[in-house]
Amino acid sequence: MNYISEIREFYDMAEAIQLSASCICLWHALMYQANKARWKGEFSVAVSTLELRTGLKRGAIYRARNALVQAGLVSVKERDGRQSALYTMHSLCSLNEHKAEHKADTKRNTKRTQSGTQSGHKAELLDNTTYYPDVDVDVDEDIDVDETSVTTVAVCAKDENGFAKVMAHYMGNIGTMPPSMVSAGIQSYLDHMETDVVTDAIDRAAADNKRNWSYINGILKSRKESGVRNMADVAREDEEFRKSKPQKPAKRKNTTNPF
Q: Is the CB of residue 37 less than 8 Å from the CB of residue 1?
A: no
**Nearest residue to 21 via CA among 74, 61, 69:** 61
Q: How do residues 165-195 score in pLDDT, each as one tens digit?
A: 888 788 778 877 677 678 888 888 988 999 9
Amino acid at 176: T
Sign of the alpha-carbon dihedral angle for 136, 141, 142, 147: positive
b (16+ CB within 10 A) / e for 198-221: bbbbbeebbeeeeeebebbbebbe
**Count of structural domains, the chain:** 3
- 2-55 pLDDT, tens digit each: 778 888 888 878 777 788 888 888 998 898 889 888 888 899 999 999 998 888
Q: What is the pLDDT of residue 232?
A: 95
Mean per-residue pLDDT of the chain = 76
End-to-end C-alpha distance for the chain, whole angstroms = 78
Domain presence at residue 66: yes
In a domain, 69, yes or no: yes
Higher pLDDT, 124 or 83: 83
pLDDT at 46: 94
- Nearby residues of 125 by Cβ (< 8 Å), 6 or more positions away: 131, 132
Q: What is the pTM of this model?
A: 0.46
**pLDDT number for residue 238:** 92
User: Residue 122's domain spans which residues?
Assistant: 95-132+144-155
Shared domain for 18 and 75, answered yes or no, is yes
| In a shared domain, residues 126 and 187 | no
When pLDDT is averaged across residues 227-252 and rounded to a whole number, the result is 85
Give pLDDT tens digits for 206-217.
999 998 999 999
pLDDT, tens digit, 9 for 90 and up, residues 155-171: 333 444 578 788 878 87
Residue 234 is part of a domain; what is its CATH number? Answer: 1.10.10
Return phi, psi of residue 217, to 5°.
-60, -35
pLDDT at 117: 58
In a domain, 198, yes or no: yes
- 112 with 75, same domain: the answer is no
5 near 155, Cβ under 8 Å? Answer: no
